[in-house]
Amino acid sequence: MRRQLAQVETTGTSREFESQVLAVDHTMGDAILLTVSAPTTVVQRLNSGQFFNVSCRFPGSFDPLLRRPYSVYRAHQQPSSLTFLVRPFGRGSAWLAGRTPGERLEILGPLGNSFVIPPRAQRLLMLAGGVGVAPLVMLSDVAVARGLDVVFVMGAADAAGLLPASELRGPVEYVVATDDGSRGHHGLATEIVGDYVHWADQIYACGPEPMYRTLRTVADTHRINKKPGVQISVERGMACGFGACLGCVVETRRGMIASCVDGPVFDFDEVVF
Amino acid sequence: MRRQLAQVETTGTSREFESQVLAVDHTMGDAILLTVSAPTTVVQRLNSGQFFNVSCRFPGSFDPLLRRPYSVYRAHQQPSSLTFLVRPFGRGSAWLAGRTPGERLEILGPLGNSFVIPPRAQRLLMLAGGVGVAPLVMLSDVAVARGLDVVFVMGAADAAGLLPASELRGPVEYVVATDDGSRGHHGLATEIVGDYVHWADQIYACGPEPMYRTLRTVADTHRINKKPGVQISVERGMACGFGACLGCVVETRRGMIASCVDGPVFDFDEVVF
Amino acid sequence: MTAVTSHGTADLAVDLAPHNPRELLLRNPFMAASGCFGYGEEYAGVIDIQRLGAFVSKGITPERRAGNAMPRIVETPAGMLNAIGLQNPGIHGFVKKYPTLWDSWAVPAIVNISAEAVDDYAMMAAMLDEQPGIAAIEINVSCPNISRGGYCFGWDAEMSAEVTRAVRGVTTLPIIVKLSPGASDIVSVAIAVEAAGADAISLINTLVGMAIDVRRRRPLLANETGGVSGPAIKPIAVRMVYQVASAVRIPVVGMGGIMSLNDALEFFLAGASAVQIGTGIFVDPGLPIRLIDELSQWLDEEGFSSFNQIVGLANVGFRSGDPHLFRFREASGL
Amino acid sequence: MTAVTSHGTADLAVDLAPHNPRELLLRNPFMAASGCFGYGEEYAGVIDIQRLGAFVSKGITPERRAGNAMPRIVETPAGMLNAIGLQNPGIHGFVKKYPTLWDSWAVPAIVNISAEAVDDYAMMAAMLDEQPGIAAIEINVSCPNISRGGYCFGWDAEMSAEVTRAVRGVTTLPIIVKLSPGASDIVSVAIAVEAAGADAISLINTLVGMAIDVRRRRPLLANETGGVSGPAIKPIAVRMVYQVASAVRIPVVGMGGIMSLNDALEFFLAGASAVQIGTGIFVDPGLPIRLIDELSQWLDEEGFSSFNQIVGLANVGFRSGDPHLFRFREASGL
Ligand SMILES: Cc1cc2nc3c(=O)[nH]c(=O)nc-3n(C[C@H](O)[C@H](O)[C@H](O)COP(=O)(O)OP(=O)(O)OC[C@H]3O[C@@H](n4cnc5c(N)ncnc54)[C@H](O)[C@@H]3O)c2cc1C
Ligand SMILES: Cc1cc2nc3c(=O)[nH]c(=O)nc-3n(C[C@H](O)[C@H](O)[C@H](O)COP(=O)(O)OP(=O)(O)OC[C@H]3O[C@@H](n4cnc5c(N)ncnc54)[C@H](O)[C@@H]3O)c2cc1C
Ligand SMILES: Cc1cc2nc3c(=O)[nH]c(=O)nc-3n(C[C@H](O)[C@H](O)[C@H](O)COP(=O)(O)O)c2cc1C
Ligand SMILES: Cc1cc2nc3c(=O)[nH]c(=O)nc-3n(C[C@H](O)[C@H](O)[C@H](O)COP(=O)(O)O)c2cc1C
Ligand code: FES
Ligand code: FES
């Protein structure tokens, strides 16, 4: 498993492959787990936080035109494959969520940088908002395999939108919040995350933009000497995936940075919201 | 069965319906027989030669944009359904040929006029070129049910491209020709049709434009006093299907005529090629 | 005529000629576009055409035209190319049949006119002025001006204004001038036709395009070029509507690729007081009627009591009459 | 540099500056388009960029630019809108890094320049003239001319010619002028820049478009408007290439929505001596390289010994230098 944490190489290893749908499983709400075949070279050098650009149309159609980025939810060695968590939302994801085993998909990746577990970090806090849970599941797997302690906080609109606890592997403390109070804390996940900030060596978050804005307040309130560090995965509309079009930039203290190569994972303190 | 020959009403009865794929069967070459559900009102007033405009894309995609016209190959009362013969050719038909039972389709129709069997006609000659066989199969069914004599001549590139004889119902004389000689006459169907011209009271043809041009020579050679009459089904790219856009016109002695309402069936002698 | 909304409570009515005593009152802002709806009768048995806000006829010309050779249409990515060649009975053939037919209909019928000389536009407008059953004239300026070597009327502000003035001079019917997207500076054309007496502006007509048949090594259309319509041109259409709506004070009718309520709302929020649907009817004949109900429901849900409240909501300069600010921003920053 | 074709026997080489002693010899007619390929290095680890006919850099401006606020891209039907805002290091930052890097590459590198004043274009061209590793300059005239109230250079024949003349005056590098599809009369612009010293013409740049966020009731792009690219604009691009290629005698480089060999062939048969691929690279990074092999195979199958033989095959007036016949046909008959 250690291999999954090797230093990320981005464009040099990225490539396109034709993949086959292996399984479609229903999970949280209307989202599905889509498992697709992938070359072993791709699966072996993958890091948590990376993503793939998936064509969401049938051959011969050019609408929708652009590929959609999906974070890796889990990677498997036998058979060599990847699982994505896809929530049918607009037309691309709805098409993708409608695929059935045996169908072919065009996939490009892995793309982007990845979450980093600092050498001395032992206690990892993860904060997931909705479908943003995907890359944190892979990260949690890696952390557990390394023997690290994980607290996994997830928020969703209602109980159906929460990741089932059975999907998290190993000894992970799973804490949930729902907007309607149908399970766990009645309210936002950011309201309970403060309880763990002092405990954690490192925080990881993936969710919608409003969640990050609230997290900023939480972080400012709870962090005294800028520790623990926070790594977030940012979602931007993308075109190329290789830093060429500059359509996916994130405003940071260092300027406008392409989130497809120097993201999607950013140091929270660097990002200007 | 007589009801299928009622006088055609075009736009007044045409309508859009959502249909479900009931069966996909493999037939001649790579073409498939696609059976889809249809309202009983649609099936009951249908005439041979009429067609339906089928959406060939998934919801949310606008490419390919235009519906594709497909002639009815067979209509069924139990369950109320239609069968189309679809040859995967470009992107629309390839998409349609890839559907599986249970999927939904958007269908508009019935559209167009239909083949007419003159009151005193007893001997019908049908000439099919490739996938143009579709409407003639329905016409042949009708003729056989009426107790008329049918000679069915079909041409294709090779034996695999021929309609299997088992697909023709009742006492029909089935004569075939293949370009490569792999079955029947070695050459074009138009080369053998001359043998039956004097026998026939009425000729029906459906096939590609070059077939019609050859048929013109055959007709000119064999017909002495402009009998038997020839009805042909003409294929034109279409947009509206209701005579509104004038994109599908056929040049006739009477001027430019919309083939979606005053066709696709034309009197052969009227058409200017 | 009073406004009738079949579902919902919001008022959908809109007047497209508020400065014209003959007014052009639509029950709802959904119209069928010229060339895509024949003369109305083609769809009479298919949908309830009387529920439409209005419909626009196929383009009528001074003389009857047989149209272009085939093929006349080719599909393009998310769109289509057409080169029908204005097949129509000519103004004399037209007036024999349609004004009387339309006079018995509830839906306002608008005649689209095309010509290659200013006098011909005026001649047709004068004839239409006397006819029953005609609610307005839509002037198609996307035609070559014979006296100017075939340069398109619609590309030039002054030439477009000249046609408008000539038509205004012979009829009191509401006049909609339909702009050509081939104009580099669409805003100047809009301002010029407003000044020349247009009651409303509609846009966009098709963009000139072409497709090549690689196998036969020649253009796919018999006419070589054709007009591109459909979803492919929607972003261009929305942009032009946004620009024009902030530069003129008369109503703007938007069109180009409308396939859903969301598409129509893009045009309304950009500043269109009504929309026309063309290619969308080919693909989905029930669309315009369905959109009436969907808009009504949307307005209720969003808390608007009248359709007019949403016109231009996304357009910061809506009817400001200052075209220059926007024109500058548009050209920069791409 | 000699022509190398990796598969097949047909000669794919093409010279885009036949009248310039410095020539612009491409091994094959497939180029990567400006703004869609960064500075080449972004794709260096993804595809074998050295096999490309050439690539064009992101647009460089006189000063460094941070670009527009986000969002900068929106998908549209069969296309996309972009408003990147020319984020680039400026000509001074540019020359520090790329000329030396590119000098070690086999693939010809072309610099795309954008400015809002004629002098700025000339200033950048003069700086580039002295640099190693630069095969040609592509002038992007789809920019607002500050001294003309922001009216786009590329919409006007004389303004486009002025920029071309200024650049021609300061460099012997091959010059490609990239036309704006916003020009009503694209043929006049092409003729004017040819006369002003352009070695080649490329077209089309993006069409100005817009999309509205209905929920938030404002334009989707932070910049409000953006440029439409991708398959949606292909028919417009093919038409303009066809027209321009019959009106000028210098090579024409076509682009707009190329996603397959068939698309590229449409442009070649219409009269393009080379094509650029932009949005197609986003969707399918391997596309331009694959097309080299596919073209080679197609030429063999169709019995052509050289790529040049197919250029303009579907264009009856190819390089006839008579633009007027065509312009008239285009405007009529729609
Ligand atoms: C790094 C990354 C990882 C992601 N991981 C996941 C995941 O694991 N699971 C998941 O379900 N989703 C994930 N997404 C989101 C996913 O890529 C799609 O955006 C989402 O599925 C909606 O796509 P759609 O086609 O259904 O929606 P659409 O209807 O295409 O778009 C819905 C809205 O999204 C925006 N949008 C979409 N694409 C673009 C674009 N190219 N440019 C600008 N705006 C755009 C637009 O505002 C649009 O209105 C991820 C996104 C990124 C950037
Ligand atoms: C009345 C009628 C009945 C038909 N019945 C059958 C049938 O029973 N079985 C069957 O397989 N096919 C039938 N067709 C043909 C069918 O409609 C499609 O054209 C065919 O399946 C190819 O579509 P595609 O999307 O695969 O090809 P595309 O890739 O879309 O088109 C292939 C070529 O067809 C032409 N074309 C297609 N659509 C248009 C259009 N709207 N306007 C102009 N040109 C166009 C173009 O030249 C294009 O290059 C019928 C056509 C008509 C008019
Ligand atoms: C087949 C066809 C014929 C058309 N004929 C005319 C016409 O005669 N006069 C006119 O002003 N516009 C004509 N148009 C343009 C449409 O009215 C409309 O402006 C254009 O198609 C854009 O709208 P859409 O994308 O909804 O189709 C025609 C369009 C099509 C597709
Ligand atoms: C994201 C993006 C950025 C672009 N930037 C530039 C640019 O800086 N300079 C320029 O001349 N064209 C630019 N273009 C236009 C392209 O070079 C090309 O002309 C256009 O996209 C049409 O080709 P396509 O459909 O293959 O993309 C850009 C296009 C895109 C999509
Ligand atoms: S998606 Fe093109 S730079 Fe990131
Ligand atoms: S398809 Fe429109 S008139 Fe026939």
pLDDT tens digits for range A217-231: 888 887 766 778 999
pLDDT value at B254 more than 70: yes
Answer yes or no: do B220 and B169 share one domain: yes
Instruction: Tell me the pTM.
Output: 0.94
Ligand number nearest to the C-alpha of B27: 2
What is the C-alpha to C-alpha distance for residues A195 and A153, in angstroms, rounded to an integer? 11
Query: φ, ψ for residue B38 (rounded to 5)?
Result: -150, 150
pLDDT tens track for B118-165: 999 999 999 999 999 999 999 999 999 999 999 999 999 999 999 999
pLDDT at residue C7 in the model: 61
Rg (CA), chain C: 19
pLDDT: is D296 or B15 the higher one?
D296
Q: Is residue A255 part of a domain?
A: yes
Give the residue whose CA is nearest to atom 2 of ligand 4.
D35
Answer yes or no: do B251 and B151 share one domain: yes
What is the C-alpha to C-alpha distance for residues A238 and A243, in angstroms, rounded to an integer? 10
User: D46, A242: Cβ pair inside 8 Å?
Assistant: yes
pLDDT value at C247 more than 90: yes
Q: By the 8 A CB rule, do D157 and D244 touch?
A: no
pLDDT tens track for D168-222: 999 999 999 999 999 999 999 999 999 999 999 999 999 999 999 999 999 999 9
Q: Is residue A107 part of a domain?
A: yes
Answer yes or no: do B92 and B131 share one domain: no
Q: Give mean pLDDT, residues D77-85.
A: 97
Spell out which residues of chain D touch residue C328, defining contact as CB-CB under 8 Å: 144, 149-150
Distance from CA of D184 to the nearest CA of C (A): 5
Find the angle CA(C274)-CA(C277)-CA(C282) to the nearest 5 degrees.
Answer: 165
pLDDT band at D318 (very low <50, low <70, confident <90, very high): confident
**CATH no. for D14-65+85-210+227-332:** 3.20.20.70
pLDDT value at C307 more than 90: yes
pLDDT value at A6 more than 70: no
pLDDT tens track for D223-275: 999 999 999 999 999 999 999 999 999 999 999 999 999 999 999 999 999 99
pLDDT at residue B7 in the model: 30
Q: Which of A53, A78, A111 is the last residue of a domain?
A: A111
Q: Is residue B8 part of a domain?
A: no
The pair of structure tokens assigned to C167 is 């038509």
pLDDT > 90: percent of chain C? 89
pLDDT at residue B135 in the model: 97
Q: Is residue B5 part of a domain?
A: no
Give the residue whose CA is nearest to atom 10 of ligand 4.
D34
Mutate to test the pocket of ligand 1, among A54, A93, A246 (most ligand atoms within 8 A of CB): A93
Q: Count of CB contacts below 8 A, B vs C?
A: 100
Distance from CA of C104 to the nearest CA of D (A): 31
User: D78, A63: Cβ pair inside 8 Å?
Assistant: yes
Q: Is residue B214 part of a domain?
A: yes
Answer yes or no: do B102 and B184 share one domain: no
Mean pLDDT, rounded, of chain A: 90
Q: By the 8 A CB rule, do B150 and B144 touch?
A: yes
pLDDT tens track for A14-48: 589 999 999 999 988 899 999 999 999 999 989 99
Answer yes or no: do A132 and A228 share one domain: yes
Mean pLDDT, rounded, of chain B: 90
Answer yes or no: do B174 and B205 share one domain: yes
What is the C-alpha to C-alpha distance for residues B227 and B202, in angstroms, rounded to an integer? 8
Q: Is residue A254 part of a domain?
A: yes
Q: Give mean pLDDT, residues C137-150.
A: 90
User: B58, A90: Cβ pair inside 8 Å?
Assistant: no
pLDDT at residue A222 in the model: 79
Q: Give mean pLDDT, residues C199-225.
A: 97
Spell out which residues of chain C touch residue A59, defining contact as CB-CB under 8 Å: none
Beta-bridge partners for D290 = none
pLDDT at residue C47 in the model: 93
pLDDT tens track for D14-39: 999 999 999 999 999 999 999 999 99
Q: What DSSP designation does A255 have? A: E
pLDDT value at C2 more than 50: no
The number of domains in chain B is 2
Spell out which residues of chain B touch residue D78, defining contact as CB-CB under 8 Å: 62-63
pLDDT value at D11 more than 60: yes
Q: Give mean pLDDT, residues B251-259.
A: 94
Beta-bridge partners for A175 = A153
The pair of structure tokens assigned to C23 is 């007014």
Nearest atom in ligand 4 to D206's CA: 20
Answer yes or no: do B65 and B197 share one domain: no
pLDDT at residue D321 in the model: 64
What is the C-alpha to C-alpha distance for residues B212 and D9, in angstroms, rounded to an integer? 40
Answer yes or no: do A92 and A137 share one domain: no
What is the C-alpha to C-alpha distance for residues A237 and A69, in angstroms, rounded to an integer? 8
How large is the ipTM? Answer: 0.94
- Closest C-alpha to B206, from B122, B269, B270, B268: B268
pLDDT value at D59 more than 80: yes
pLDDT at residue C322 in the model: 63
Q: Give mean pLDDT, residues B16-37.
A: 94
Answer yes or no: do A130 and A246 share one domain: yes
Task: Answer whether B234 contacts ligand 6 (Cβ < 6 A).
Answer: no
H-helix or E-strand containing C101?
helix C90-103
Answer yes or no: do A195 and A106 share one domain: no
Annotated active-site residue C143? The verdict is yes
* Optimal mutation site among B89, B95, B242, interface C, most CBs of chain C within 10 A: B242
pLDDT tens track for C81-131: 999 999 999 999 999 999 999 999 999 999 999 999 999 999 999 999 999
Q: By the 8 A CB rule, do C200 and C251 touch?
A: yes
Answer yes or no: do B151 and B264 share one domain: yes
Q: Is residue A212 part of a domain?
A: yes
Could you tell me the CATH number of the domain that includes residue B47? 2.40.30.10
Q: Which of B88, B111, B134 is the last residue of a domain?
A: B111
SS3 C320: coil
Give the residue whose CA is nearest to atom 8 of ligand 4.
D59
Q: Kindly list the domain boundaries of chain D, sorted by start residue.
A: 14-65+85-210+227-332
Residues of the domain holding B68: 16-111
Q: Is residue B141 part of a domain?
A: yes
How much distance in Å is there from the Cα of C240 to the middle of ligand 6?
A: 29
In terms of C-beta distances under 8 Å and separation of at least 24 residues, what long-range contacts does C214-221 make, across chains too?
C214/D262, C214/D265, C214/D266, C214/D269, C217/D269, C217/D313, C217/D314, C218/D314, C219/D242, C219/D314, C220/C71, C220/C74, C220/C81, C221/C68, C221/C71, C221/C72, C221/C73, C221/C74, C221/C81, C221/C83
pLDDT at residue B12 in the model: 35
